[in-house]
Structure 1
Amino acid sequence: MHHGLSYAFGDLLGDIGKWLLLGIVVAGLISYLVPDDFFLRYMGNEALSLLIMLGVGIPIYICASASTPVAAALVLKGLSPGAALVFLLAGPATNAATLTVVARYFGKQATMVYLASIALASLALGWLTNRLYGWLGLDITQWVNEVSDATDSMYMQGAALLLLALILTSPLRQKLDD
């Protein structure tokens, strides 16, 4: 059990912590700088929004830890949940490191098949997600508004500060363990 906790609060947190913080910073910038109706106004066409998020997600180097808060901020600014899912699936699966490894071990043709498979699967799942949200009548922004009071609590603020402290001290703990 001690080794599991050591790994969780040491190596794992050290590996994903900086990316999570980067994602939170980018999400904060999106929340502050992007108007609330931006995506509804400029990306109201569902197919176009799915394709744009695929085009944004594929070339950027982003991991799942960083892309999750970014996708959440985009949805809260009016992006469809399906388009956000396309970004969440395509970005981490097609980053430069992954594509380099696939190309090295399987060749360029397999890399193109891999890339096309990720693109098609992401688009299909994004489209299905939008259908599911529509069919169930779900509105993600309503959920956030309902729980926004909870984020102002001392408990939530304390938990955020604790997570920040754990992330910032994880490199120090890793050096002590070595």
Structure 2
Amino acid sequence: MGSSTQARPGSGRLRITSVEVLCVVLVVAILGQSWLRSVLDVPALRTGATVFVAVCVQALPFLVLGVLISGAIAAFVPARVLRRVLPRRESAAVGVAGLSGVALAGCECASVPVARRLIGQGVAPAAALTFLLAAPAVNPVVIVSTAVAFPGEPGMVLARFVGSLFTAMIMGWLWIRWGKLEWIAERALRRLPEVEGRDRWKVFAETSRADLVEAGGFLVLGALVSAALGVLVPGEWFGTLGDQIVLGILVMAVLAVVLSLCSEADAFVAASLSALPLLPRLVFLVVGPAIDLKLFALQAGTFGRPFALRFAPVTFVVAVLCGVGAGLLFLGGVR
């Protein structure tokens, strides 16, 4: 990865990568709003551009912060640190692993290799998989970004935290009861070497860069979809989803899987869909960090396809149920 994004020694030229392109596009979009409005003086386009820029500007600081924290954890926090604090009893270790996600922030892309490292260092798979689901969903960056995206709705923040935490812990307990080690690919069970010395900074830079490119691309995609939904989809459609709450929940759950947004930025996309009730948007926020298309691909590549084909569908069902349960408990019913 490093050889594809850095100039060769002695070349004397700085190569432009997708990170720089992404930053330039966002800056141009922000600074050129007035010019774009004058050139494309169409009400629908103005509305869509406003939604797109608003989502990107609000979410980008949290995305960058989350990526930096994720890179720091990958480089400077050895997996043995978490292994030492986990109880020997698997069911108790699941609870501790879930709560540890509050302290160890990271996006869902980074949590997969961390979980693999934990398993490779002897941590029970149930605890490692619980951490995989909890870390990107209940960490402080996600909590703060959700509070900023939904001002005046503390119940939304609490419901997301509880729904995501229980999703992770229930999946860990289900693995204890029915999970089989042979579902996990042998390569994921091998012990990985610890990162030492100057290599830590290299891992930090490369992990942060890769996560920013991937998560930033999905953020732009999510902002575009939000803008398109606000402009192209008639308002009465959202009213129908609001009236048929079960349909609205299912649609938002599937949308979370398809969009594959980063957990540090998805709250702003959900907040932009203000025509929908809070409950379907909460399910969107609980399902997204637990399972989406990119996570399925990462899990299949890291732990093997037999694992992903079993783990992903169950995670989806559990996340939907936990999101609905948390919403009914903390949002005062269906609203």
TM-score norm. by structure 2 comes to: 0.34
What is the one-letter code of the residue matched to 1:70? Answer: V
Decide whether the 8 Å contact of 2:119 with 2:189 is kept in 1: no
Equivalences for 1:25-40 in 2 at 5 Å? Answer: 25-26=75-76, 29-30=78-79
In structure 2, do the counterparts of structure 1 residues 63 and 121 end up closer, same or farther at CA, with 3 Å as the change threshold?
Answer: same
The CA RMSD over aligned residues, in Å, is 4.3
The answer for unaligned runs of 5 or more in structure 2 is 1-16, 24-63, 193-205, 214-335
Decide whether the 8 Å contact of 2:98 with 2:130 is kept in 1: yes
Decide whether the 8 Å contact of 2:97 with 2:130 is kept in 1: yes
Tell me the residue number matched to 1:118: 164
Q: Decide which of 99, 102, 124 is 1:80's aligned counterpart.
A: 124
Bigger Rg over Cα: 2
Q: By how many angstroms is 1:55 displaced?
A: 1.5
Tell me the residue number matched to 2:134: 90
Partners of 1:113 and 1:34 in 2: how far apart?
Answer: 26
Partners of 2:144 and 2:76 in 1: how far apart?
Answer: 26
Provide the aligned length of Structure 1 versus Structure 2: 145
Tell me the residue number matched to 1:99: 143
What is the one-letter code of the residue matched to 1:50? Answer: V
Decide whether the 8 Å contact of 1:64 with 1:92 is kept in 2: yes
Higher relative contact order (CA 8 A, sep 6+): 1
Decide whether the 8 Å contact of 1:62 with 1:92 is kept in 2: yes
SS of alignment partner, residue 99 of structure 1 = helix
Greater share of helix residues, 1 or 2?
A: 1
Decide whether the 8 Å contact of 2:70 with 2:106 is kept in 1: no
Q: By how many angstroms is 1:68 displaced?
A: 2.5
Decide whether the 8 Å contact of 2:67 with 2:106 is kept in 1: no
Partners of 2:105 and 2:184 in 1: how far apart?
Answer: 30
Tell me the residue number matched to 1:56: 100
Partners of 1:48 and 1:73 in 2: how far apart?
Answer: 20
Decide whether the 8 Å contact of 1:80 with 1:130 is kept in 2: no
Q: Decide which of 125, 130, 147 is 2:176's aligned counterpart.
A: 130
Q: By how many angstroms is 1:34 displaced?
A: 8.8
Partners of 2:191 and 2:122 in 1: how far apart?
Answer: 18
What is the one-letter code of the residue matched to 1:25? Answer: A
The answer for unaligned runs of 5 or more in structure 1 is 1-5, 149-163, 172-178
In structure 2, do the counterparts of structure 1 residues 26 and 76 end up closer, same or farther at CA, with 3 Å as the change threshold?
Answer: farther
Equivalences for 1:66-77 in 2 at 5 Å? Answer: 66-77=110-121
Partners of 1:127 and 1:81 in 2: how far apart?
Answer: 11
What is the one-letter code of the residue matched to 1:108? Answer: P
Q: By how many angstroms is 1:115 displaced?
A: 1.0
Decide whether the 8 Å contact of 1:133 with 1:139 is kept in 2: no
TM-score norm. by structure 1 comes to: 0.57
